[in-house]
């Protein structure tokens, strides 16, 4: 940017000392002021729908930005991911893979799908199976999937039978964009990391377009780059983990600069049978809904895909094991909120998490 320094009085007239006289001086002044105005920065906002939810983006750019073109690029990117990983589309890659019945035969996939599956495999191994992208048959069994809600608890032998179809190690992830089923019945649902991957891909689109200051949010998962227009870090609120809490009711505020953030919670999606509460988050290791008191987990990481998966995993691991895992990872922090029987909350932080909290 060209910087122009001049002395101007309160009426906008150039004062003496510029070495320009008469009408030419006025012309020069107008041109210079126009140049300064045109080079100014502005914050833009775009929004839309994707993956069964909404997205919101803020970005800082000069005043000549073609906002419609930016949104078109974002929408095209998100449509590609939806067509790849939506289990609600029968012709999507993930639906075709789930219907693929051949064992030990390669199934070619796109680069997007393969990248998410590589991260899924890594999170599965990292968490000892607490996060598992093949858990969907158990989610359906417990009434939180496409099959609809339950009227009574499933029998223990049925839980055990379905558990035999679950386990990310039943899928081979090749060194190239190829997947291999080891058991024909195994299926994948990447909903718990696909939104995070969408955030990462949109951030890449903005970065490739030359933007350095932006905030991307898809379904509550976030990546923040650079700073806001006022030069301050981006600020993101964590919702208060109560069923009755309004969407704008904030529990903590996190300041982000070149970080991703994802939050998982069980306080919105649950049901009650015979006086007992059942969470939509299923522990794939046991086959049963979560019962450790954790109501919310927020993870900050370099990648939103990783943060998204880890947020679910540390909920299942609980505060002690969850925080121990996060503390063992480089560049990852977390807040785990536990609700006690008397209704009070207790917060559990990783070693570096508190530095992200805004005043």
- The residue from 181, 200, 219 where one domain ends is 181
Residues 12 and 107 occupy one common structural domain: no
Distance CA 262, CA 256 (A): 12
The answer to whether residue 222 is domain-embedded is no
b/e map 249-260, b = 16+ CB within 10 Å: eebbebbbeebb
- Above 90 in pLDDT, residue 153? no
Distance CA 335, CA 300 (A): 9
User: Given the structure tokens 């080891």, which residue do they identify?
Assistant: 182
Contacts of 151 (CB under 8 A, 6+ apart): 273
For residue 43, count CB atoms less than 10 angstroms from its CB and return exposed for 0-12, middle for 13-18, buried for 19 or more.
middle
- The residue from 139, 166, 181 where one domain ends is 181
Work out the percent of the chain whose per-residue pLDDT is above 70.
86
Q: Average model confidence (pLDDT) for the chain?
A: 86
Token duo for residue 347: 């917060």
Distance CA 312, CA 263 (A): 8
Residues 97 and 175 occupy one common structural domain: yes
DSSP 3-state assignment of 350?
Answer: coil
Residues 240 and 342 occupy one common structural domain: yes
Quickly state the pLDDT bin for 274 (edges 50, 70, 90).
low
The answer to whether residue 109 is domain-embedded is yes
Residues 23 and 101 occupy one common structural domain: no
Strand partners, 357: 254
| Domain range for 295 | 233-356
User: Given the structure tokens 């109501």, which residue do they identify?
Assistant: 295
Residue range 36-53, pLDDT digits in tens: 344 489 999 999 999 999
- The residue from 148, 181, 214 where one domain ends is 181
The answer to whether residue 128 is domain-embedded is yes
Distance CA 43, CA 36 (A): 17
Instruction: Report how many domains make up the chain.
Output: 3
The answer to whether residue 291 is domain-embedded is yes
The answer to whether residue 249 is domain-embedded is yes
Residue range 57-76, pLDDT digits in tens: 999 999 899 999 999 999 99
The answer to whether residue 155 is domain-embedded is yes
Please report the DSSP string for 213-272 in residue order: SEEEEETTEEEEES--TTSSPEEEEEEPSSTT--TT-EEEEEEESSEEEEEEESSSSEEE
Work out the percent of the chain whose per-residue pLDDT is above 90.
70
pLDDT value of position 27: 40
Residues 171 and 101 occupy one common structural domain: yes
DSSP conformational letter for 8 = B
On whether the CB atoms of residues 172 and 186 are closer than 8 A, the answer is no
- Above 50 in pLDDT, residue 34? no
pLDDT value of position 25: 39
Q: Measuring CA to CA, how many Å separate 198 from each of 168, 202, 296? A: 21, 6, 22
User: Please, how many CA atoms are within 13 Å of residue 34, restricted to the half-sphere of its CB?
Assistant: 6
Q: What is the CA radius of gyration of the chain?
A: 25
Residues 238 and 174 occupy one common structural domain: no
Residues 247 and 175 occupy one common structural domain: no
On whether the CB atoms of residues 138 and 163 are closer than 8 A, the answer is yes
The answer to whether residue 98 is domain-embedded is yes
Please report, for the domain that includes residue 112, its CATH number: 1.10.3980.10
- Above 80 in pLDDT, residue 150? no
Residues 10 and 108 occupy one common structural domain: no
Quickly state the pLDDT bin for 275 (edges 50, 70, 90).
low
The answer to whether residue 321 is domain-embedded is yes
pLDDT value of position 176: 87
Residues 145 and 34 occupy one common structural domain: no
Residues 251 and 343 occupy one common structural domain: yes
Residues 237 and 175 occupy one common structural domain: no
Please report, for the domain that includes residue 335, its CATH number: 3.10.520.10
């Amino acid at each position: 940017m060209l910087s122009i320094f001049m002395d101007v009085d309160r009426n906008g007239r150039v004062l003496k000392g510029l070495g320009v006289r008469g009408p030419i001086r006025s012309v020069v002044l107008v041109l210079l002021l126009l140049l300064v105005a045109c080079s100014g920065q502005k914050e833009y906002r775009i929004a839309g729908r994707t993956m069964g939810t909404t997205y919101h983006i803020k970005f800082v750019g000069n005043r000549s930005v073609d906002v419609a073109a930016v949104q078109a690029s974002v929408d095209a990117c998100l449509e590609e991911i939806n067509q790849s990983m939506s289990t609600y589309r029968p012709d999507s890659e993930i639906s075709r893979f789930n219907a693929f019945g051949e064992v030990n035969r390669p199934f070619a996939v796109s680069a997007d799908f393969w990248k998410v599956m590589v991260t899924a495999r890594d999170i599965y191994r990292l968490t000892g199976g607490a996060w598992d992208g093949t858990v969907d048959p158990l989610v359906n069994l417990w009434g939180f999937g496409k099959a609809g809600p339950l009227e009574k608890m499933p029998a223990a032998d049925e839980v055990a039978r379905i558990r035999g179809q679950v386990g990310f190690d039943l899928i081979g992830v090749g060194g190239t964009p190829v997947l291999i089923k080891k058991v024909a019945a195994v299926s994948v649902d990447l909903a718990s990391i696909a939104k995070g991957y969408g955030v990462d891909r949109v951030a890449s689109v903005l970065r490739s377009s030359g933007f350095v200051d932006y905030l991307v949010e898809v379904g509550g998962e976030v990546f923040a780059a650079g700073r806001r227009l006022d030069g301050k870090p981006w600020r993101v609120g964590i919702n208060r983990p109560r069923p009755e809490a309004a969407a704008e009711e904030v529990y903590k505020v996190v300041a982000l600069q070149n970080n991703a953030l994802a939050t998982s919670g069980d306080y919105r999606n649950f049901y009650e049978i015979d006086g007992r509460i059942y969470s939509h988050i299923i522990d794939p290791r046991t086959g049963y809904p979560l019962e450790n008191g954790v109501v919310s987990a927020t993870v900050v990481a370099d990648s939103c895909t990783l943060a998204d998966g880890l947020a679910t995993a540390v909920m299942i691991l609980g505060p002690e094991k969850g925080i121990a895992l996060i503390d063992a990872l480089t560049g990852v922090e977390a807040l785990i909120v536990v609700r006690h029987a008397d209704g009070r909350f207790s917060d559990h932080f990783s070693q570096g998490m508190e530095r992200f909290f805004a005043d």
